[in-house]
């Protein structure tokens, strides 16, 4: 079993999400979450590309099919999650709360490098490849992508002060 799949199994257990590949939807969820976590800074050696309008890694698919064939116990991979990675996982939990549509929208926006693009452009491009998503799903996905990629070190005292002023406007 690869080190990366051990990490993912540990991450899923930490997140409280069942690591299961019995259906397309479950495999799709594994691909989305792995892509998002990698983009957030987790050290995973999977390469992702756009496949059928979503992030996909063939090496990740190979890994989870291989361990499934070995009847592996998905409750414990033996990987101990370092504190730095727990911070990323906690951020993921706080932002998504396992909302599948938001994950779908955010992961595709991140893969297409549209996170910081104009909303109208993002909506147009996303509607071309994901017509089932509403405008609000796309806007929420873009906002979630921004939250996921925002690093606390970017939050200067000046920016904190400005944000507090905006929060206090009635």
DSSP string, the chain: --HHHHHHHHHHHHHT-----SSHHHHHHHHHHHHHHHHHT-------EEETTEEE-HHHHHHHHHHHHTT--TT--SPPPPHHHHHHHHHHHHHHTT-HHHHHHHHHHHHTT-TTS-HHHHHHHHHHH-TTS-HHHHHHHHHHHHHHH--GGG--HHHHHHHHHHHT--
Residue 41 lies in a domain: yes
What residue has token string 């297409």? 112
- Residue 151: predicted pLDDT: 67
pLDDT of 3 > 60? The answer is yes
The predicted pLDDT at position 96 comes to 80
Greater model confidence, 39 or 162: 39
| Residue carrying structure tokens 């990323």 | 88
- pTM summary value: 0.81
Give the residue numbers spanning the domain of 76.
3-153
Query: Cα(165)–Cα(162) distance, rounded to whole angstroms?
Result: 5
Q: Given this model, what pLDDT does residue 148 score? A: 85
Q: How many structural domains compose the chain? A: 1
In a domain, 163, yes or no: no
Q: Is residue 161 part of a domain?
A: no
User: What residues have CB less than 8 Å from 48, skipping those under 6 apart?
Assistant: 31, 34, 35, 38, 55, 56, 57, 111
Q: Looking at the domain assignment, is residue 103 inside a domain?
A: yes
Q: Tell me, what's the pLDDT at 153?
A: 57
Report pLDDT digits (tens) over 68-123.
655 566 677 889 999 999 999 999 988 886 678 888 899 999 998 988 889 999 99
Q: What pLDDT score does 67 carry?
A: 80
Q: What is the pLDDT of residues 32-70, one digit of tens each?
A: 999 999 999 999 999 998 877 789 999 999 998 888 655
Would the pLDDT of 164 be above 70? no
**Is 160 within a domain?**
no
Question: What digits encode the pLDDT tens for the residues 125-155?
Answer: 999 989 999 999 999 999 989 888 876 655 5
What pLDDT is attached to residue 100?
A: 81
Q: Under the phi-then-psi rule, with left for phi > 0, alpha for psi from -120 to 50, and beta for the rest, what region is 48?
A: beta
């Amino acid at each position: 079993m690869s080190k990366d799949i051990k990490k993912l199994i540990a991450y899923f257990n930490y997140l409280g999400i069942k690591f299961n590949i019995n259906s397309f939807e479950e495999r799709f969820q594994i691909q989305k979450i792995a892509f998002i976590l990698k983009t957030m800074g987790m050290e995973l050696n999977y390469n992702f590309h756009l496949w059928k309008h979503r992030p996909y890694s063939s090496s990740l698919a190979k890994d989870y099919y291989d361990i499934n064939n070995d009847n592996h116990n998905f409750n414990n991979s033996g990987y101990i999650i370092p504190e730095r990675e727990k911070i990323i996982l906690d951020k993921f939990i706080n932002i998504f709360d396992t909302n599948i549509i938001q994950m779908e929208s955010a992961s595709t926006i991140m893969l297409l490098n549209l996170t910081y693009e104009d909303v109208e452009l993002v909506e147009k491009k996303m509607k071309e490849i994901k017509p089932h998503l509403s405008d609000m799903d796309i806007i929420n996905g873009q906002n979630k992508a921004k939250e996921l990629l925002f690093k606390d070190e970017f939050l200067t005292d000046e920016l904190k002060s400005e944000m507090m002023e905006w929060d206090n406007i009635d």
